Amino acid sequence: MADDVSIQHHIKSLIDEEHELRSALQAGSISVDDEHARLRSLEVELDQCWDLLRQRRAKREFGDDPDTAEVRSERTVEGYTG
């Protein structure tokens, strides 16, 4: 993910996949367990993308190079407490 626009496009594709999963569950083409497992994975990836986008914006705001922002681990992103 090189820039803000590509990160935003990736976020949109993850949200689209989330909607497709919910539709597939309603249609009975996937199990609840399959949906939950993939949704959990999507949620983590979405959180990582949003975090990366925030990092890039903060770096830009303070005169740093946004391209030095990096995707943080699931543990870091999901471990935020406030």
Q: Kindly list the domain boundaries of the chain, sorted by start residue.
A: 4-75
Are 14 and 46 in contact by the 8 Å Cβ rule? The answer is yes
CA 5, 13, 4 angle in degrees (round to 5)? 15
Contacts of 10 (CB under 8 A, 6+ apart): 1, 49
As a whole-number percent, the residues of the chain with pLDDT over 70 amount to 96
pLDDT tens readout for residues 5-41: 999 999 999 999 999 999 999 999 999 999 999 999 9
- What is the model's pTM? 0.87
pLDDT tens readout for residues 33-47: 999 999 999 999 999
